[in-house]
Chains A and B, each alone.
Chain A
Amino acid sequence: MTDRLLAAADRSAAGFTEIRFLRRRRTLVVLRGRHVELATATFEEHGAVRCLSPGRSWGVAGFGSMGEVDAAARRAHELSLALPVAAAAPPPVPVPARRETLHCPAGRDPRDLPLAAKRRLADALAGAVLGADRRVVETRVRYQDALLETWVVTSDGSVLYEERPEISLAARVTAEEGGTSEGAFDSVAIPGTWAEAERWVATADRIARRAVERLHAPPVRPGRWPVVLDPRMAGLLVHRAIGHRCHADPAVDGAGPWPLGFRVGPEPLTVGDDGTAPGLRGTMGFDHEGSRPQNTTLIRHGVVVGHLHTRSTAAAAGVAVTGNARGTGSDAPVARLTNTYLANGRGTLDDLLRGIGEGVYLAEPRSARTDEGRVALDAGHVRMIRDGALAEPLKDAVLQGDPLALFGAMDAVAGDFRWDLSASRCDRVGAGTLPVSTGAPHVRLVEADIGDGA
């Protein structure tokens, strides 16, 4: 396979040629209640060739099977030549040529597991959430595993292959009582370790308890409150509100990056993106241009110090590549987030709660939205804070506002950092959806808007 890609890159008449090919084998079992709604196995292959000749624009051709790679290389070159030359694309910044093969770690290939065992794990998950409480009326659970193989070959000498396994589980629960209905959802993505998946299932009854807890919880009174965010809320906020403004290329969604030196928040705010952190969804052995991922600091002590770069944006900006080029389907790679984090501060959750007379604790995000420069995060688990301690459960709380105002209100970051292992995905406007992770400690906002998301 690698030889065919290499030969196609060698035969390409373009000045620079890059070929990416992905193969994914996936099994999926979905249960509604105890009933199997879907059992499926899929095999998917697709690739993309990207060509650039001096003084021209990029041409991209997608293809569906290895037999089409030469034709795709020809089409990409033709497209590159066909486009107007009024504004030529800069050539990609040079990176050291690499030859690497990264195989699936022993014992983690989901193809080795019998389908019946996968069904039993999905059954166990369904049993855990259905049996947790008599008020649970509806459940939907999902088991999925995949082995993703990625090849990247470039005409400047990189030849790379990686196998990445993943098992993901998700459960959605609806509880009802007295005419009220509430839901809860959680998921996990694990790089192929069955025992970890079983451990997650063993504690999945907590998802049902969350739904039940919301049944009789009163809604939060909308307004401005002192707020403490759990690591999952804080991580998602950082991904949405900061990470998306640190892509070096504005071409995809029009929202340009914050300039270097721009103050985003206070001293305790340090944010980075780490494509090398082990065991996470955004981690890769190489990016889709063949560059080595790295840990890039984006915000240091509240000030923008870095952007996420592809080889093209790095060339245009005259800086080093950061290994963040990722493409979906047959699209050309653009700068994307991988594993985005808010760095640790000091102290504990109790330290953050201390001194708050009345406030709101927001945890376990259910959904997030960004539009017109505002961010809105809906919390799945909400508690009142009274006299420095977590108090009664609440519901219907959306943290909302302008990102700069939200981070401007941040006055403390705890030292209890953790990665969120949810099966998270990043949807960048116009650039498709990719797996990512986020991580953060607890954080405190002196005051923030809690409302209905408008």
Chain B
Amino acid sequence: MIGRVLERVRPRVSEADAVSRSDETITVTVPSTGPARAARTSALSCGLRVRHEGRVGHAGSTEADPEALVRSAIESAAVGEREELFLPAPSPAPEVATADRAAASAGPHEVLELARLVRGRLPDAARDAEVWVERSAGWVELGNTRDVHARYDATLVGIGVRLPLPGERPAMLSLHRVGVPWPGTGEVDRLVTALERLVTPPVVGRTMAPPPGRVWFAPRAVRALLAPVLPALQANALHQGRSFLAGREHEEALPAGITLRDDPLVPLRPGSRPVDDDGVVCRPVTLVDRGRPTGWICDLATGARLGRPSTGHGRRLPFAPPRAAYSNLVLDPGEARPADLIAETGEGILVELLPRPWGDLRSGRLVLATPYAYRVSDGAVVGRFSRCTLRGNLLDMLRRLVALGRDTEWAGAWCGPAMVLEGLDLAVE
């Protein structure tokens, strides 16, 4: 479709680029009781951006009618802003694995069998869980009027469970693993082990609260601690004057233990891709080097407004224009072995999962409440609190870094180590 769209639009505008996505998704859900559910969905979409008489306009469609799409984009440009649009020229794209043959060829039968496999492996404490498996396979194709053309296949497979957690405050546990390849038994084992860790410890009350001390955050929980940092490292925050890191490039604005990268070229991860949705060749970007901001992720349009080059992070969702978005975020590990983390935590708390924080992201003053906080005593988990609430400025919290694990763990498009912090304002129930 891209070829037909660009062919029609080329003689009528000064610049244009387009992205088309195709996707087929199969989802099977197996509840603990009641009938299983299955769905199979296919979707095709195309987004077009044009620069016409100096103004930029967008259009998107699920219809295979290039003329209607081109007409809509040109009409939109008539009310759009006068802007530059420096489209990239063709250049060699790096090799990166974005799809898996087994995942692409899996049909409803394989998806159902995988769901049954997960269901059969659930621990007793999770027998009321609902199990789901989702497999998505498709391709991304993009091009522009400077003759850039790229296409890559993409697959994604998620396996997950949902189950009610007991406790004074009922909570719904939702745990999943997402990756590009078809999951083997090792991946199912990892999900089951993580589930066992979450649901096996008995619920304990606030009488078991440890003395004020240290908190051990498991790798999956660490990403939520970076909530104020991530938006501040996007170029649109810089452009709109919303980044607290603006003008602090190469200063030690963050804790020295933090080295953060975005890497679209890690193979077989959800954010892996050779080119971004602006047609710019992807490359890894170091965002923070030992606490010093060194780069902002940038898409083409924001880059033009800022006078900066794109970093290859343009992401265009169906029916929306491109904007800068992370691909695969990687927080570099430290040196602490698991035994060191346990020792550093002492009589403390282990937080396995943290939801998105609540509060003011700009100032960093946030509240994080989780039902996945566990009492650690003598190097072992002895119980789960119904609820643990952390309050305060997350940036200040990160400055109280005691230890960073040497082992990292992938969770979707996030990879990071465990972390131990001290001196936190924390309450448990």
Residues of A within 8 A of B (CB): 26-27, 29, 32, 35-46, 48, 57-65, 68, 72, 75-76, 78-80, 82-84, 87-89, 115-116, 118-119, 138, 181, 251, 253-255, 329-332, 369, 371-374, 376, 429-430, 452-454
Contacts and interface: CB of A to CB of B under 8 A. Distances in A.
B78 A452 contact: no
B8 interface: no
Contacts of A330: 39, 41, 43
A453 B79 contact: no
B118 to A, nearest CB: 14
Contact of B369 (A48, A63, A253, A454): A454
Interface string B40-66: 111111000000000011111111100
Secondary structure type dominating chain A contacts: mixed
18 contacts: A38-B58, A40-B58, A41-B75, A43-B59, A44-B61, A45-B62, A58-B35, A60-B39, A62-B41, A75-B40, A83-B28, A83-B36, A83-B37, A115-B75, A116-B79, A330-B43, A371-B171, A372-B371
Contacts of B108: 78-79, 82
Kindly name the residue among B57, B73, B76, B112 whose own CB sees the greatest number of chain A CB atoms within 10 A: B76
A83 B35 contact: yes
A62 B77 contact: no
A331 B42 contact: no
A376 B69 CA distance: 43
A78 B26 CA distance: 13
Contact of B240 (A40, A138, A255, A369): A138
Interface in B3-38: 25, 28, 31, 33-38
B105 interface: no
B34 A251 contact: yes
A452 B359 contact: yes
Contacts of A59: 38-40
Contacts of B389: 454
Kindly name the residue among B35, B369, B391 whose own CB sees the greatest number of chain A CB atoms within 10 A: B35
A332 B367 CA distance: 35
B163 interface: yes
Contacts of B78: 115-116
Given A64-B62, A82-B112, A44 B319 contact: yes
Contact of A88 (B35, B58, B59): B35
Contact of A57 (B37, B64, B386): B37
A376 B172 contact: no
A88 B37 CA distance: 10
Contacts of A84: 36, 112
Contact of B40 (A29, A62, A116): A62
Contacts of A35: 81
Interface string B150-185: 000000000000111000011110000000000000
Contacts of B334: none
A373 B391 contact: no
A63 B164 CA distance: 33
B19 to A, nearest CB: 14
A98 to B, nearest CB: 26
A371 B164 CA distance: 12
**Closest 10 A-B residue pairs measured CB to CB?**
A62-B41, A40-B58, A60-B39, A41-B72, A119-B79, A57-B35, A36-B81, A39-B80, A42-B60, A372-B169
Interface string B68-95: 1100110111111100000000000000
A76 B36 CA distance: 14
A453 B367 contact: yes
Contacts of B34: 87, 89, 251
B362 A371 contact: no
Contact of A64 (B38, B42, B72, B76): B42
Contacts of A63: 41-42
B79 A32 contact: no
Nearest to A85: B35
A61 B58 contact: no
| Contact-residue size bin, chain B (C-beta under 8 Å from the other chain) | 35 or more
A152 B160 CA distance: 32
A252 to B, nearest CB: 10
Given A76-B40, A119-B79, 6 more contacts: A40-B57, A41-B73, A43-B68, A43-B72, A57-B35, A251-B37
Contacts of B60: 40-44
Interface string B222-257: 000000000000000000110000000000000000
Nearest to A76: B40
Contacts of A87: 33-36
Contact of A118 (B25, B44, B79): B79
A64 B169 contact: no
B79 A29 contact: yes
B355 interface: yes
A169 B9 CA distance: 31
Contacts of A79: 38-40, 108
B62 A39 contact: no
B226 to A, nearest CB: 20
Contacts of B59: 40-43
B130 interface: yes
A38 B321 contact: yes
A65 B321 contact: no
B391 A254 contact: no
Contacts of B81: 35-37, 39
A371 B64 CA distance: 42
B80 A253 contact: no
B362 A181 contact: yes
Nearest to B162: A254
A453 B28 CA distance: 35
Contact of A39 (B77, B170, B319): B77
A96 B201 CA distance: 52
B172 to A, nearest CB: 5
Contacts of A78: 108
Contacts of A119: 79
A123 B142 CA distance: 33
A270 B182 CA distance: 51
A372 B76 contact: no
Nearest to A137: B241
A332 B39 contact: yes
B319 A42 contact: yes
A329 B109 CA distance: 23
B240 A32 contact: yes
A452 B391 contact: yes
A64 B20 CA distance: 14
